[in-house]
Chain A
């Protein structure tokens, strides 16, 4: 037991980077981490307040139907889906393929204890993420309704067990994705395709969930819960626990969650070596002879290396190409289905009309969601010494990273513009605006992401999820990108929007020029000091 507690403690310190706080305190460099702490508190505060107000709003609707308890049930459902998704990408390198296994397995500690500690860390991480979503909803609920002491007991006891099943489901999907991809020669490519398929399945599922003829938010909540009752029986149990304070349901809920968790953990312990080897397996070719080689310039070689880095990670591709994929998918649907069907499909009246009139800025929004550079410095990690010791201009290193981002975005903008031109007749001016404005945004987001990553580098990561999805750099880049692309949409004038687009483009061009100027001066200095 002492070993288990120690292992969990060490893993948690690493997982949440808490050890960095202690190090900073010991080195008397606490001032350096204060901005990070403040920013995290700010993000946490904004999220909590937003969820609280959204919950209060939803609660008012539910009250009219006497279904207020569904508020917590719906939040539990959404949080569970979120936990499954985040666990899918965390499982590799946390549960399987963890770098510390070689040391841990050599210690006189039971294998069961080591693997259990990894599970507990995943569970605790998920529990903390759940806190962020569930507690504001809980507060909105207790302040907006009358509750008995029994409710609080039921809520907090069940709360501790909610993450167990989503953690197991996420582990299974994540392991299957990795195992399936490992069977292919181009396993990274296969991993990207399978992950995309998973995304499509979830999208289709949520689309079906939306297609419930919901008249209002309250009915929608009821429909979501009904739908989930059939596929995730725990939802029904949770509804009974929260709505009826049903002790029997609580016991079943706890027993079921623990049973699934323990069974899964025991299976993993039993077949760990086999699964771990299969997941980390690589295709070995022993018949290589060095023959013809294609020479490249240093810049092209850097670019090719960056492209290979990019496509080597399904997580990186999925999280950064999502804007491009969504844009093309929407436009292809618009071309194939027609505007009326697309509006019905997306469940937004006049969506197509809106898309067409504000297309240059809508393209810009999707462009802003496709930033690869916000993680590109951090992802160098322990390899950074290679770039720093090479005789190349640091500007070229930056340009290679920016070129990767543009390689993802610019063809998308071109294809999307051509598809839209096919759907609606565009004047040459309209077409040029449609092409140029998102292109300026593409240069903006690529340069901005890189600069932000230089200001907030994270080089000592163990799992790249931390860099791509959870780092300060990725968060700030995505938020800023969304603000500068979404806000102008709301103030598009009815008369002569092209002039407005040109004005927006000019302003963005000036901002982008300033960013590149800073990147190639201060950014270079920061890179040297990393």
Chain B
């Protein structure tokens, strides 16, 4: 029954080319099927590339319904993929840390941010934390990717004694937590300032708030998840607001995971305080703060170390060129 298709073809016959083209336009001409394919592109940058291939693709890829589905899938895949080696994951045009020469004996930690839709414009950022061997001082360097090249944007020496805990970009500001306070670098004015932690509170994870500002999230010894919100208003004095306290014992018990038996730590927080990843014993849990749902992501294998990671690559949504009204052209 397959004899018809078994023709040996070095150069395809016109009829077969036509048939292949017809099959392709049937599939790619169907918005639903096209969406199924684009959904599986996995990363926002890949999606933007595909969207630039033709007008119909751009229309499908930038529609809000599609983006919601894409984001849900991306988040899920990202969490499974990136864990626990996420520090090396960068979904950026250039996989290398910025092209600046780093000498021997220099430790660095690079965090990258995808382009985003904002007043800052369409750029990628890299935050490079550099520490020279034997020195206490760390240099935080901000590099900007624009028009196809990385450039040094600003560089500030700081006294961060430890590895950066979390970094986030909100309204052109980078937030870096150290053991003593939160260090804020303003990428627009190249100035820096400091925010103190809310009352007798230290450490914690930062998460970008959707309308300027940051959340600070931490798990207390009594296993409560505390969520603070800091609005970026004119001055730098402390205006933390405790927005939520969640008893994790109750969450674990109510959702059928039993009473937590080991200390619970954070290993990732989502943008807009939407979710956290909780580490307990050898397991990692995904807790959605908005929906109050808990799901076990995986048990770590013996010998694995669970490293904290930065939720940076989730800058959302990807920016697309504008779609005009008369958009129903075939590719």
Question: Are A and B subunits of one complex?
Answer: no
A contact set with B: CB distance below 8 Å: none
B contact set with A: CB distance below 8 Å: none
